Structure 1
Amino acid sequence: MMFSVIKVRGNSMAPCLYDGDFVFIIHRYLNLNVGQLVVVNHALYGLIIKRILHIHDNGNYWLEGENEESIQPNKMGWIPPSLVVGKVIYCICAHRSHTR
């Protein structure tokens, strides 16, 4: 499957995404860039949606949420590309819709 729809749980990405919103992700992409939203299958936290803050020379990603409710980046650690489930390409939000 190339695309998936995932329901947002929690408000760690507010004001960008809120609990109950839906995001469309693409599983096959050419590259990821700083600032893009990704879905990651983290060993401790399960499926999480975060923003790419830095990309290491070795290709690993440093991620962050949008507010203080989010898991701190140092607790997530560097994320290898193999844990990235997909890139967020669209959001269906309560009372609004927009692309990322």
Structure 2
Amino acid sequence: MLKIFKITGNSMSPRFNDGDYLLLFTLYQKSRPGQFLVYDHPTIGPIFKQVCEVTEGGSFYLKSLNSAGVSSEDIGLCQTENIIGRMLWHFYP
């Protein structure tokens, strides 16, 4: 139900930084624009991003907060079954 995740990289800075921690809710089913998720991308691996768009079928697109991060186009269309968890709390080391 709950999981701790450590952020690596600066794609979500300045709001979230390398080494910050997240408390995730892992029993998660639907995405909404604006939510922050940890997603298990098939080629990139676990990534922490913000939902920017949800399709009618429930798939969604993710974005970085920093322009130097991976683009939504490179991430591609995401599926609900690959969600690791939704951010409940952000805390600093």
TM-score (structure 2 length as normaliser): 0.94
- What is the Cα deviation at residue 29 of structure 1? 3.1
| Alignment-derived partner of residue 98 in structure 1 | none
Bigger shift: 81-90 or 24-33?
Answer: 24-33
1:45 partnered with 2:44: yes
- What is the Cα deviation at residue 30 of structure 1? 5.3
Taking only the aligned residue pairs, the percentage that are identical comes to: 25
1:17 partnered with 2:16: yes
TM-score (structure 1 length as normaliser): 0.88
Q: Give the partner amino acid of 2:51.
A: I
For residue 46 of structure 2, give the secondary structure of its aligned residue in structure 1: strand
- What is the Cα deviation at residue 70 of structure 1? 1.0
Q: Give the partner amino acid of 1:86.
A: G
- What is the Cα deviation at residue 93 of structure 1? 2.0
Aligned length, in residue pairs: 93
Runs (4+) of structure 1 exceeding 3 A deviation are none
| Alignment-derived partner of residue 63 in structure 1 | 62
**Gap runs ≥5 in structure 1:** 95-100
Q: Distance in 1 between matches of 2:20 and 2:91?
A: 6
| Alignment-derived partner of residue 97 in structure 1 | none
Q: Name the Cα RMSD after superposition.
A: 1.1
1:27 partnered with 2:3: no
- What is the Cα deviation at residue 41 of structure 1? 0.3
Residues 30 and 80, structure 2, Cα contact 8 Å, conserved in 1:
no
